[in-house]
Amino acid sequence: MRLLVDTHALLWAVDNPSRLSAPAAAALRDPTNRLLIGAGTVWEISIKAGLGKLALSLPFRQWMERAIADLGLAILPMTVEYADRQATLPHHHRDPFDRFLVAQALTDAIPIVTADAQLDAYGVVRIW
């Protein structure tokens, strides 16, 4: 199954796995799952790390390359189709990165690994 990993779930999976719920940790470890991160997630982490709002265990690029390799992540690109879907979403959630994640999940019917219960308002399948 393809799974879209939210930013905080990715951060926790790499630097603090004990913060993951048991179902989320199991889903991320399951070798039959294909783990995806949105390009927006990569961008969000780089922005926050660059602003000093996020402390990573390694410099950003090294951290991201290690996360991609260790978790076997594939990057889901930003596309016009996803952006269009995001533009039409109701405003249940104001964070643009989360709204884009929802658009990707809804467009491609991919469950999201996230603790963010606000995303339930969009009808996404959430694993936590």
Taking only the tens of pLDDT, the chain with its 128 residues reads 999 999 999 999 999 999 999 999 999 999 999 999 999 999 999 999 999 999 999 999 999 999 999 999 999 999 999 999 999 999 998 889 999 999 999 999 999 999 999 999 999 999 99
CATH label of the domain that carries residue 117: 3.40.50.1010
**Structural domain range at position 30:** 2-127
Task: Please give the backbone phi and psi of residue 127, each rounded to the nearest 5 degrees, phi first.
Answer: -105, 120
Global model pTM greater than 0.75: yes
Number of domains composing the chain:
1
